[in-house]
Amino acid sequence: MTSSKADKALKGVSDIFLGQIASRIFTFLFLIIFVRLLSPEELATLPLYYAVSGAATLLFSMGIPVTFIREVPRLRVAEPDKMHSLLFTGFVVVMAGIVMSAFLANLLKEPIQALLFSDLGGLIDLRLFVVAMVVGGWKTLMTFVLKSLQMYRGMAIFTASNDLLYRALGLAGFFIAGINGLLAGFLLGTFITNVYCTWRV
């Protein structure tokens, strides 16, 4: 490995590390706030939200994000046109799968509510969790895209800014509309960062 490649790799690691530190700080501070504000039942929705928002890429991703990581760095140097084609096609296919996952979840929302959300007693609007599958899956996909392009600073900024924005908007939403406002703020914050990151890439 040449010194320039070593320097680039070290810089990438340091960018990711700093991004993770910022993300953990935001997470810790907002966790303290949410624990003090939310009731135990409302607090129980948070791990469910995180689990649902991360689950959408499981069913229909078909290994495409992993293919990005394996193929894009090589194609970026040797065949940039093929790289662009792979990224665009893979992005469209995976996003279609994410939307399909959300569509199926919406069709099956009654048994899902009985299985996962029965203890919440109608406290939340399940449609917010369906939308969370889309924006959360989109966020996960963009993380793979940034990683495959070796845009480590961009990935660190994307992660940290998303963690700050969606929690800040969620907090504002909670004061406006309770727990459903909190979840809507989460969705809006992640949607904004997804749109901006996708446009930039």
Q: Which of 97, 84, 193 is nearest to 149 (CA)?
A: 84
Q: What is the pLDDT of residues 70-124, one digit of tens each?
A: 999 999 988 999 999 999 999 999 999 999 888 888 888 777 776 666 666 566 7
Q: What is the 3-state secondary structure (H, E, C) of 23-44?
A: HHHHHHHHHHHHHHHCCHHHHC
- The pLDDT averaged over each successive group of 10 residues in the chain (201 residues) is 54 65 78 86 83 78 89 91 94 92 83 67 77 93 93 87 92 92 95 95 88
Structure tokens at 15: 């960018």
Backbone angles phi, psi at 54, to 5 degrees: -95, 0
Structure tokens at 176: 């406006």
Letter for the amino acid at 51?
A
CA 167 to chain centre: 13
Where would I find the beta strands (DSSP E) of the chain?
Answer: none
Whether 166 contacts 190, CB under 8 Å: yes
